A and B are shown apart, each in its own frame.
Chain A
Amino acid sequence: MSSALSDPKAPLAGARETDRADQRQGQAQQPQPEAGRLRVALLGNPNTGKTTLFNQLCGLRAKTSNFPGTTTDIRTGRMKIGGVEADVVDLPGIYRIDLDLPESNLVRNVLGDAGLFRRPDVVVVVVDAANLTRNLCLVGELLDYGVPTVVGLNMVDVAQRRGLSIDTERLSAELGCPVIPLVARRREGVDELLAAVGRATTPPSPPPGLDAACSGDLVTWAERIAVASLGGEQAVGTSRDTVTERLDQAFTHPLLGVLVFSGVMFALFYTIFALATVPMDLIEATFEHVGGWLATLLPAGPVRDLLVDGVVGGISGTVVFFPQIFLLFFLISLVEDTGYLARAAFVMDRVLCRFGLPGHAFVPLLSSHACAIPGILSTKLIPDRADRLTTILVAPFMSCSARLPVYVLLTSLLFIDRPLYAALAFAGCYVVGATAALGSAFLARRTILRGRSRPMVLELPSYRMPSLRSAFIVAWEQGVTFLRKAGTVIMAICVVMWWLSSYPQAGPAPAAEQLRAQAATLPAAQQQELLTEAEHLDARYAQAQSFAGRIGKTVQPVFAPLGYDWQLTVGVLTSFLAREVFVSTMAVLLVGEEEGDVEEQGVIDQIRRARRENGDPVFTTATAASLLIFFVLAMQCLPTLAVTQKETGTWRWAALQLGYMTGVAYLSAFALYHGLHALGVG
């Protein structure tokens, strides 16, 4: 827990009292709607259907951005209310306004019109009709802020099924503001709610005699109103929900809970892997087609190369992540909607809390096995900032799919004709990555992010059917936000890396020219072999003469202690664009193939036989093992660093991630290389 959160001496309560007093006294200074534009904020406890209501109101017109000066997401949308243009803001779900938590701080700032925030003209409080007392506590706090308020009494259908009948007129009279019954999932009551928002111009009076800063007073006040609205103390409802209790017993059981969780996660990730490959292949094929079309349209030259290989390649390298991100958030949103995720968090908390991570971290860590980018984006599930930062920091240790071609190549080189050992080494890479992630989290929570993970105290919401529409909207927004926020940076990185590995253009290799001259003297049937070899030489020469090649040669002494020559160093450096680039770089440098397919045994054999400039083999057992451990642990993905920067709001964490992971990788590779040499394994 961060020190700010755990500091019991922070003068928050007093400050909030002043805030509220200022609000009441300063109502005359309330900001007026800008140019007739109404600003409506949605407020509510978590699991009250607030986001479902927001999606009903704004749909795909909504966008996600950061609260100014923070990394907390805010969803905003536009719509018309009674002919007036309105901005709708979906505030984070909170239990109380005065809690010392980041989400509550944001809500206080919004309601207090502090700094960069503009105070809403109307607040819609979404209240769970089946859990009236606790939800009314938030309403009680809000009434003290003196903002025009409308209560959306959501899930009245669930309340009715539980035998609760709420007198909304009585409730409205008690609160001094309109109360509109809703079933947001079915859009029932939404039009009436909007009409009430259009009419809400006067702030309700603060409840007389209520000290909203005192939990006890607030609960007593809320309970009195709940009892009055429900028609008696017996009707407030503390009844047992036996179905929920039985499901909870199964889902949080030490053994059964783990099995259920494993099944749910397997289904989730299998669906992502199985379904995402189709649109991903389609995206890549489409951009390849566009690149080919541009290549035929434009005259040869640097502009064509920039557009075809740099820009189109860069856009393709960004958009290709969209299906994975969309599917991941769609499925997580569905699972979260059912209420299951809160139970799953407890199951994983037993394991992860030992390493200073919360149970919530499991989904991001598991997602990172597909790709660290959606993994880091899904850390939004983690409520505590220190927990979230720790998870972001260690997520790229998990072996992502981009490492797979590298693992295939290096394990094949390490264990020739011994597939069992190769498979064990392959699995070992995943174990080493996960161990490094957990160990690093443990270390981080004892040093830079000192503290324990937030103690697991969670509301266990009722199980319910998820909303496909809501999940689609959330997933679409996350995908578009990724393209907008990180996509531009990723594309720029792709263009720069393409330029470094393509320029300056070297022209034909001298040795290739000789081969072509030799080929010209031979009969046509015998020329092809020499011409192909000449092309290979050209590709190797171009790579060696490029800026990346030159940098590789310059930087090589740094990697020499790990056993890498300049060719392997170029491979390591170019793989910072994306790890799988290592394989194609090796194919170009060592074999001369433009498109190296490591699953083709011929290419692996050629790479295995490749020689250094002094005649020694490029890959010895020690070198291959050193490279393998380096790729398991190193932070070699600039797009991931860009996402880390966007999600943490600073390059500091991205720089730490890069420095720490690459440092761990370097030291591990060094130790392994020299350890193997000491054991006589060359």
Chain B
Amino acid sequence: MDLNVNSVTQDQNLIDLTRLSVGSRARFRGTGLAQSDLQLLEALGLTEDSRFRVCQTGDPWIVQVRSTRIGIAEAVARQIRVLPEEAS
């Protein structure tokens, strides 16, 4: 997977995961994390353009991708760029 961090950062429609509220849906678009951390997110189901729902905000953030619930520390969540459903 090759997520271009620069293009992800520059896309005006993208926001940080931490700006979403409980119940909102969005698509995963990329991260500023190290490659190994990104690989782990992908392995858990957060692949490019995958759709997820925010189950809980705060530390940890909890998102559901298909049937997988993923807990994400606030520090990591701040580096995840997403496209809110309304904007997609």
Contact = CB atoms under 8 A, between A and B. Distances in A.
Given A240-B55, A249-B56, A457-B70, 19 more contacts: A132-B67, A133-B67, A134-B65, A134-B66, A216-B49, A219-B47, A236-B67, A237-B67, A240-B53, A240-B64, A245-B62, A252-B60, A254-B59, A342-B71, A349-B73, A456-B60, A456-B71, A457-B72, A459-B68
Contacts of B66: 131, 133-134, 236-238
A533 interface: no
Interface in B22-39: 33-37, 39
Interface of A: 1, 5-6, 8, 95-96, 99-101, 130-134, 137, 214-216, 219, 236-238, 240, 244-245, 248-249, 252, 254, 342-343, 346, 349-350, 353, 455-461
B15 to A, nearest CB: 19
A170 B62 CA distance: 33
Interface SS, B side = mixed
A252 B62 CA distance: 10
Contacts of B35: 8, 100
Given A131-B68, A133-B66, A455 B76 contact: yes
Contacts of A346: 59-60, 71, 73
Given A216-B47, A219-B45, A455-B73, A6 B34 contact: yes
A311 B24 CA distance: 66
Contacts of A100: 35-36, 39
B37 to A, nearest CB: 6
B42 interface: yes
B43 interface: yes
A153 to B, nearest CB: 14
A5 B34 CA distance: 10
A219 B52 CA distance: 14
B47 A5 contact: no
Contacts of A137: 43
A133 B59 contact: no
B58 A254 contact: yes
A236 B50 CA distance: 14
Contacts of B20: none
A357 to B, nearest CB: 13
Given A131-B66, A238-B66, A346-B60, A95 B40 contact: yes
A137 B47 CA distance: 12
A353 B75 CA distance: 10
A339 to B, nearest CB: 10
Nearest to A245: B55
A237 B66 CA distance: 6
Nearest to A343: B71
Contact of B36 (A6, A249, A460): A6
A130 B67 contact: yes
A456 B72 contact: yes
Contact of A238 (B33, B56, B67): B67
B59 to A, nearest CB: 6
A457 B47 contact: no
A95 B44 contact: yes
A320 B58 CA distance: 45
A617 to B, nearest CB: 54
Q: Closest 6 CB pairs between A and B?
A: A95-B43, A456-B73, A8-B35, A96-B43, A215-B42, A131-B67
